């Protein structure tokens, strides 16, 4: 896997886990928690690769046969479980347990049970790394629970999720949580230049990276996604509408013209993802403006400049108007779960702005 990269920002945490393993103290099941896109899955793969490495150091050496196989995603003792890599939204029981009877639309690959049934090929243990463990449905979690309850020598599980509450209490009681937080701006920018294809010698791109890192709150994965969605442009339009600098109905049309990449299987889902991005950005600006109004420093905020301008407007200073706006945006965001028109919901949120 090309994902075998140094877990920037989490180096100390992961090195500590490698050292625990060397002393025979690594819990057999770990749960990496922390914000989306900060590299929790990569950290899990890196930990596994370090413990499978023939050199037995604190980090994968990167050159031995084991490290090469880990990098090429062909290591017989490393089993990444990733719903999205198989175009599935949910980690169903077929990812976890062996079942003969599976529908043709289900995941068809090997299960964790199949993987664990094989003898460790290289004798340094077997590692299961589960991406976005909140995607495990209840049946799958119960199947996994059986494996967690009966730990076998040399078998290690690393689960990761930003929403550990989505896991059953029984599963959570069997894993040791390790918190991996957002990165500081400098580290996050470094990851973007390294992995995001940005050019450090281009002033425009330098500025774009700084903006994306600020909007992401220190998550390279989120920053890249926001970049693809052209979030800085959307946020700028929203800032203009919220502060009354531009008429809301003019901005409404332009929000749908920004040429961003919104993933989804159907056109409707893509429109809904765009609306979700727009409403989340608007809610972010409103929340940051509240912080400014309460005397907070705008500099470290995701939407610092826009929030500072908004907090200075007469409309925002009025408590009833501010509450009405907040409620309208929140309700529109919640109603996105219903099958309502995404454009209609964004219009509804924008209509709450004082004219
Ligand atoms: Zn190695």
Q: What is the DSSP string of 273-333?
A: HHHHHHHHHHHHHHHHHHHHHTT--STTSTTHHHHHHHHTSHHHHSHHHHHHHHHHHHHHH
- The confidence band for 2, taking pLDDT boundaries of 50, 70 and 90, is very low
Q: Are residues 32 and 168 in the same domain?
A: yes
E strand spans, 15-84: 29-33, 78-81
Q: Are residues 174 and 28 in the same domain?
A: yes
Q: Are residues 115 and 235 in the same domain?
A: no
* Mean pLDDT value of segment 266-274: 95
What is the rounded CA–CA span in Å between residue 227 and residue 198? Answer: 11
Decide if 197 is inside a domain: no
Decide if 202 is inside a domain: no
Q: How many domains does the chain have?
A: 2
With a CB cutoff of 8 Å and minimum separation 6, the contacts of 248 are: 241, 350, 351, 353, 355
- Cβ-in-10-Å burial (0-12, 13-18, 19+) of 120 comes to middle
Decide if 99 is inside a domain: yes
* Mean pLDDT value of segment 75-79: 96
* Residue among 215, 219, 179 nearest 39 (CA): 219
Ion ligand 1, residues whose Cβ is below 5 A away: 53, 55, 61, 64, 67
Decide if 93 is inside a domain: yes
* Mean pLDDT value of segment 336-342: 93
Decide if 278 is inside a domain: yes
Q: Are residues 64 and 160 in the same domain?
A: yes
What's the confidence (pLDDT) of residue 86? 93
What is the model's pTM?
0.84
Decide if 267 is inside a domain: yes
What's the confidence (pLDDT) of residue 3? 55
Q: What is the CATH number of the domain that holds 91?
A: 3.40.50.300
Residue ending a domain, choose from 162, 179, 196: 179
What's the CA-to-centroid distance between 66 and ligand 1, angstroms? 6
% of the chain surpassing 90 pLDDT: 85
What's the confidence (pLDDT) of residue 266? 93
What is the rounded CA–CA span in Å between residue 14 and residue 44? Answer: 8
What's the CA-to-centroid distance between 147 and ligand 1, angstroms? 28
What's the confidence (pLDDT) of residue 44? 97
Q: Are residues 148 and 263 in the same domain?
A: no
What's the confidence (pLDDT) of residue 196? 79
Q: Are residues 159 and 35 in the same domain?
A: yes
Q: Are residues 148 and 66 in the same domain?
A: yes
Q: Are residues 163 and 247 in the same domain?
A: no
Q: Are residues 126 and 256 in the same domain?
A: no
pLDDT in tens, 116-171: 998 878 889 999 999 999 999 999 999 999 999 998 999 999 999 999 999 999 99
Residue ending a domain, choose from 114, 145, 179: 179
Residue ending a domain, choose from 121, 147, 179: 179
Please check the confidence at residue 285 and state whether its pLDDT lies above 90: yes
What's the CA-to-centroid distance between 37 and ligand 1, angstroms? 26
Three-state DSSP at 203 gives helix
Q: Are residues 72 and 171 in the same domain?
A: yes
Strand partners, 159: 31, 130
Q: Are residues 173 and 322 in the same domain?
A: no
Domain with 241 in it: 229-351
- The confidence band for 1, taking pLDDT boundaries of 50, 70 and 90, is very low
Decide if 185 is inside a domain: no
What's the CA-to-centroid distance between 72 and ligand 1, angstroms? 13
Decide if 221 is inside a domain: no
What's the CA-to-centroid distance between 45 and ligand 1, angstroms? 13
Chain centre to alpha carbon of residue 176: 20
Q: Are residues 138 and 249 in the same domain?
A: no
């Amino acid at each position: 896997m090309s994902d075998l990269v140094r877990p920037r920002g989490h180096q100390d945490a992961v090195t500590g886990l490698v050292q625990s393993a060397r002393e025979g103290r690594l819990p057999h099941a770990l749960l990496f928690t922390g914000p989306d896109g900060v590299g929790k899955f990569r950290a899990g793969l890196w930990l596994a690769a370090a413990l499978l490495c023939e050199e037995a150091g604190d980090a994968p050496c990167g050159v031995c046969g084991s490290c090469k196989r880990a990098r090429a995603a062909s290591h017989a003792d490393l089993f990444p479980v990733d719903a999205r890599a198989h175009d599935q939204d949910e980690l169903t029981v077929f990812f976890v347990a062996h079942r003969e009877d599976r529908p043709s639309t289900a995941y068809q690959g090997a299960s964790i049970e199949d993987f664990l049934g094989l003898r460790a090929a290289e004798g340094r243990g077997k590692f299961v790394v589960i991406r976005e463990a909140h995607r495990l449905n209840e049946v799958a979690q119960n199947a996994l629970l059986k494996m967690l309850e009966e730990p076998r020598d040399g078998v290690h599980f690393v689960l990761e999720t930003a929403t550990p509450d989505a896991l059953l209490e029984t599963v959570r009681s069997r894993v040791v949580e390790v918190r991996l937080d957002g990165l500081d701006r400098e580290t996050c920018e470094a990851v973007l230049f390294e992995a995001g294809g940005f050019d450090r010698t281009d002033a425009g791109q330098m500025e774009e990276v700084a903006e994306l890192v600020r909007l992401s709150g220190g998550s390279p994965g989120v920053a890249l996604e926001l970049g693809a969605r052209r979030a800085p442009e959307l946020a700028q339009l929203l800032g203009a509408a919220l502060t009354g600098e531009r008429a809301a109905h003019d901005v409404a049309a332009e929000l749908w013209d920004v040429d961003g990449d919104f993933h989804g299987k159907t056109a409707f889902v893509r429109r809904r993802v765009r609306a979700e991005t727009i409403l989340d950005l608007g809610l972010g600006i409103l929340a940051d403006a509240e912080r400014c109004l309460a005397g907070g420093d705008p500099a470290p905020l995701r939407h610092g400049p826009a929030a500072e301008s908004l907090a200075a407007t007469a409309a925002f200073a009025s408590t009833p108007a501010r509450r009405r706006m907040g409620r309208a945006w929140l309700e529109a965001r919640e109603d996105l779960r219903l099958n309502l028109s995404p454009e209609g919901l964004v219009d509804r949120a924008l209509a709450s702005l004082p004219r």
